[in-house]
Amino acid sequence: MAERTTTTFLELIHRGVLEIGDGYRAKNSELDGDGLPFMRAGNLTDQGWKTDDLERFHGHLADKISGKISRDGDTVITTKGNSTGRTGYVAPGMDPFVYSPHLSFWRTLDPNQIDARYLRYWAIGPEMVDQLASMAHGTDMAPYLSLTDQKRLRISLHEISQQRTVGRILGALDDKIAVNERIAATYERLLQCRFVELGLGNDPDGDSVIPITDLITFGPKLGKPVAAEPVYVDMAALQTSRAGIPSWARREPKSGPRFMNGDTLMARITPCLENGKTGYVDFMEDGEIGLGSTEFIVLRSLPGVPSELSYFLARDSRFREHAIRNMVGSSGRQRVSAADASNYAVMAPDAEQLAAFGKEASAAFAHMKSLESESRTLAALRDTLLPQLMSGRIRIKDAEKIVEDHV
């Protein structure tokens, strides 16, 4: 690979090939409109952008916020809090949005000198990570990365054709991951419709009302994990709109709810419950017991009830409203107990419809599990190739062959 040149963000800005900026400090009175959505730092997660239920600006503010609107190809970085340094990418075709103050964007102004996708991958590469560790300084409350800090960043740039090739190779892996995500999201939307057809989301009325505990157990009892370091799932691992649990750890057993394959984990504490943190467990060995955050409620379908039903109940808006209404505690630390969450009634589902739901959900979740596993493999390959491509330790042709074999 050709030699690289090293420069700073400030030099690139002076040359007119790079723009960096931060977001708009919105007033509450400027939101609740029907204009462009407002993207907060919390909407940039390890799994990508969370774009559901975004607040929107009033349309008449278009000129005022024009300099803070995303563009295709922007690299985005969080600049305050424990997530400082988390990065994202505005993929082509993504609907435009307004950046919040704790998001900074890096924008290529001359694509013949800096390739946008190369910049995105440089942002998660070792050169950036090493600098971030020394730059992100703390305030009294949280780490912070200022625009001044960002201008001091030093970046190594390959010749533009090499930049584009690096971006294309790594991008092929992320593109396949994105396809897998879209397929899984489509499955979930379809199954949510099937759940609605069961009538479990309707207000109970008449003679067919049953307690939810006729279908699902809350906080099921399990023995101690056998493994010296059992699976552990923390709150950060749960997604807000997807069933898959993309990451977990192993550690010495401590306190926390126990779970096994087929169980659903639902956050019980504010704001995680309101945000929709929920996951379906399907990644362990049969019979294996894992541990989770003490702020989870474990839901398990009773024998004869599709295991996936517990997940879609936990996603159901009427059930979530019930759980949120029953939270207790001081503001900011409110939580709902498993007992209060389970004090809930539904219409008894038709047995044949329930069985049909189970058959469809089982097949879909099996495919989703396969897609999740493939995406983890692709992400690991991307993370392995990235530093090698950036440093030139691997030949382009060799990297291309490896990626072709996987996508």
Residues 9-52 have pLDDT tens digits of 999 999 999 999 999 999 999 999 999 999 999 899 887 898 87
What does the pLDDT look like over 136-178, one tens digit per residue? 665 555 688 999 999 999 999 999 999 999 999 999 999 999 9
Q: What are phi and psi of 188, to 5 degrees?
A: -65, -40
Question: What is the phi-psi region of residue 340: left when phi exceeds 0, alpha when psi lies from -120 to 50, beta otherwise?
Answer: alpha
The mean pLDDT value for 368-381 works out to: 96
DSSP state of 60: G
Contact 19, 13 (CB under 8 A): yes
Contact 105, 41 (CB under 8 A): no
Closest CA to 85 of 33, 134, 35, 13: 134
Alpha-carbon gap, residue 302 to 329, rounded angstroms: 30
Q: What angle do CA 236, 375, 97 make, to 5 degrees?
A: 65
Exposed, middle or buried: residue 49 (CB in 10 Å: 0-12, 13-18, 19+)? Answer: middle
| Whole-number pLDDT of residue 324 | 97
What does the pLDDT look like over 189-229, one tens digit per residue? 999 999 999 999 999 988 899 999 999 999 999 999 999 99
Outline which parts of the chain fall under CATH 3.90.220.20. 5-157, 204-348
Alpha-carbon gap, residue 172 to 404, rounded angstroms: 9
Alpha-carbon gap, residue 41 to 79, rounded angstroms: 8
Q: What are phi and psi of 5, to 5 degrees?
A: -110, 140
Closest CA to 277 of 228, 247, 327, 239: 239
pTM for this predicted structure: 0.87
pLDDT at 317 over 70: yes
| CATH (residue range 5-157) | 3.90.220.20
pLDDT at 321 over 80: yes
pLDDT at 2 over 70: no
Residue 148, SS3 per DSSP: helix
Q: Which residue has the tokens 């994990």?
A: 225
Alpha-carbon gap, residue 98 to 204, rounded angstroms: 41
Say if strands 98-99 and 38-39 run parallel, antiparallel, or are unpaired: parallel
- Give 204-348's CATH code, choosing from 3.40.50.720, 3.90.220.20, 3.30.70.60, 3.40.50.2300: 3.90.220.20
Contact 346, 310 (CB under 8 A): no
The mean pLDDT value for 119-133 works out to: 94
What single letter denotes the amino acid at residue 129?
Answer: V
| Whole-number pLDDT of residue 138 | 57
Closest CA to 167 of 230, 123, 199: 123
The helices-and-strands tally (H runs, E runs) of the chain is 11, 22
| Whole-number pLDDT of residue 141 | 55
DSSP state of 381: H
> Largest Cα–Cα distance in the chain?
77
| Whole-number pLDDT of residue 4 | 87
Closest CA to 353 of 193, 189, 244, 213: 193
pLDDT at 355 over 90: yes
Q: What is the full DSSP assignment across 117-140?
A: HHHHHHTTSHHHHHHHHHH-EE-S
Q: Provide CB contacts within 8 A for 374, sequence distance 6+.
A: 176, 180
Q: What is the full DSSP assignment across 324-367?
A: HHT-BSSTTS-B--HHHHH--EEEPPPHHHHHHHHHHHHHHHHH
Q: Provide CB contacts within 8 A for 331, sequence distance 6+.
A: none
Outline which parts of the chain fall under CATH 1.10.287. 159-198+350-407
| Whole-number pLDDT of residue 139 | 53
pLDDT at 291 over 80: yes
Alpha-carbon gap, residue 300 to 220, rounded angstroms: 7
The mean pLDDT value for 309-321 works out to: 97
| CATH (residue range 159-198+350-407) | 1.10.287
| Whole-number pLDDT of residue 144 | 85
What does the pLDDT look like over 65-120, one tens digit per residue? 999 999 999 999 999 888 899 999 999 999 999 999 999 999 999 999 999 999 99
Other CB atoms within 10 A of residue 154 CB: 14
